Amino acid sequence: MGMTGPDEGNGRGMMAEINVTPFVDVMLVLLIIFMVTAPLMTTGMNVELPRADAPALPAADKQMVLSITADEAYFINEHGFKFEELGPKLQAIIKANPEQEIFLKADGSVPYEKVAQLVALCTQVGVPRMGLVTQPSGGQ
């Protein structure tokens, strides 16, 4: 009567190798899914909106305000421009000062499409940061 362990004699012992093929297959499928969906998630405009009841932000030394009035007149600070002139002007400003942030001030009656066009224009010319100017809410 020979006493042999599971690894001795018959060769049917515990297998010490892990089959990683199913794990690699799942990871490759997830990688492909993320590669396909990632570009779709970055097509929106990234705008950080402060809450309306938040305190005012500290004013920068050279604050630039891009405005659109109710009659769809465009201004950079107090200087009026046509929409077609804004692109080259903003591009020159950003080229001179790459860290320049812009505050967008739009009249409440301006169609959303016009505001979206301004935001898209700022994104195209490379504005690094934008803020939307709002009135404080409620009893302030």
> Is the pLDDT score of 121 beyond 50?
yes
Burial 47-80 (b: 16+ CB within 10 A, else e): eeeeeeeeeeeeeeeeeeebbbeeeeebebeeee
Question: Given this model, what pLDDT does residue 3 score?
Answer: 52
Split at pLDDT 50, 70, 90, the class of 11 is low
Rg over alpha carbons for the chain, rounded to the nearest Å, is 30
What are 87-117's pLDDT values in tens digits?
899 899 889 888 888 888 888 788 888 888 9
CATH of 64-132, one of 3.30.465.10, 3.30.420.270, 3.20.20.70, 1.10.10.60: 3.30.420.270
Tell me the domain boundaries of the chain: 64-132
What are 16-32's pLDDT values in tens digits?
788 889 999 999 999 99
What are 42-94's pLDDT values in tens digits?
544 343 334 455 555 555 557 888 888 888 888 888 888 898 988 899 899 88
Model's pTM, two decimal places? 0.54
